[in-house]
Amino acid sequence: MTQMNVKTDDEILSENSMTASSPVTQEAPRPTFVTRGVDVFYGDKQALFGIDLDVQASGVTALIGPSGCGKSTFLRCMNRMNDTIDGCRISGQILLDGEDIYDDQVDVVHLRARVGIVFQKPNPFPKSIYDNVAYGPRIHGITSSKSELDDLVKHSLEKAGLWGEVADRLDEPGTGLSGGQQQRLCIARAIAVQPTVILMDEPCSALDPIATARIEDLMGELREQFTIVIVTHSMQQAARVSQRTAFFHLGELVEVGATADIFSNPVEQRTQDYITGRFG
């Protein structure tokens, strides 16, 4: 059964990479992430079954699926945040620009500097807005002077669309901002480390519609520069922000393809059922 599914996924994958790549760019598709046969176990429980997924460079890839389908688990594998969970084991290959990120040679600190993450619940440090953004550059020694750091903080906050709101109160605690502002602060904080990929784990699920719209607009701007992978519960959001969508169900990658195709013309019955709201 599983064997068969993997096979179909592979077929879909190859099919989609052909269809999706040709209209977007003329160059050969350059996937940032390539995962092959990724299994994840929490203790004895298997959470992911042989995931094969390519994430295209620049652009937004949305991971959708019902609760508990393993999409967040998969996202957290991509910058090894699952390392912090006791009893979590991963097998298979996850290649970032051709390098296996679970290789012993790879320093997880370096990996996470390249692959930033924004969490479901805004989690600014209980420090000033400035220190929140400056923390990453400081620990990595990205900047060499105070003025350079100031510029980077400003630049990152501008990118996150927060500069105008906080420019005159950088010394105030980040925790004093509204939920949407906090989440944009977290995005600014992730950008400040100069990653190539930003992972977003349901970044809008704790926000109101207006704040959500702002974050979605932001994603539209950021995808020019960063590869973005977003986990979302909202299919509308996936349709709005992403160029590619991957549908997970019960720990399996059911289908992946251009967002328009997935929502208008899914290949798999399960995808069809999910996007039409028959389950999940």
Partner 1 sequence: MNDQNAPTRSIDNSTAMAAVQRSLGKRNRAERRFRFFGIASIGIALALLMVLFWTIISSALPAFTETSIDLEITLPADEIDPQGSGDPAVIGDANFPKYIKRAMYSLFPEVTKRRDKKQLAGLISPGAAFKLREHAMSDPSLVGTTIVLRVPMSDDVDQFKKGQITADIPESDRRISDKQIAWVQTLTDMGLVHQGFNKTFFTAGDSREPELAGIWGAIMGSIFTMIITLALSFPIGVASAVYLEEFAPKNRLSDIIEVNINNLAAVPSIVFGLLGLAVFLNFAGLPRSAPLVGGMVLALMTLPTVIIASRAALKSVPPSIREAALGLGASKAQAVAHHVVPLALPGMLTGAIIGMARALGETAPLLMIGMVAFIVDFPGNFTDPATVLPVQIYLWADAPERAFIERSSATTLVLLCFLIMMNGLAVILRKRFERRW
Give the residues lining the site for partner 1 (CB under 8 A).
79, 81, 84, 86, 109-113, 116-117, 119, 121, 123-126, 135-136, 139-140, 175, 186, 189-190, 193
DSSP 119: -
Give the separation between CA 185 and CA 196, rounded to whole angstroms.
Answer: 18
Beta carbon nearer to partner 1, 60 or 115: 115
Shortest spacing between CB 126 and partner 1, in angstroms: 5
Shortest spacing between CB 86 and partner 1, in angstroms: 5
Q: ∠ CA(17), CA(278), CA(274), 5° rounding? A: 20
Beta carbon nearer to partner 1, 7 or 89: 89
Residue whose C-alpha is closest to residue 77's, from 45, 44, 42, 43: 42
Shortest spacing between CB 18 and partner 1, in angstroms: 34
Residues across the chain: 280
Sheet holding 31-42: strands in order across? Answer: 45-56, 31-42, 88-96, 99-100
Beta carbon nearer to partner 1, 49 or 125: 125
Beta carbon nearer to partner 1, 31 or 116: 116
The continuous run of DSSP H or E covering 132 comes out as helix 129-140
Shortest spacing between CB 117 and partner 1, in angstroms: 4
Q: Which token pair is 124?
A: 């600014």
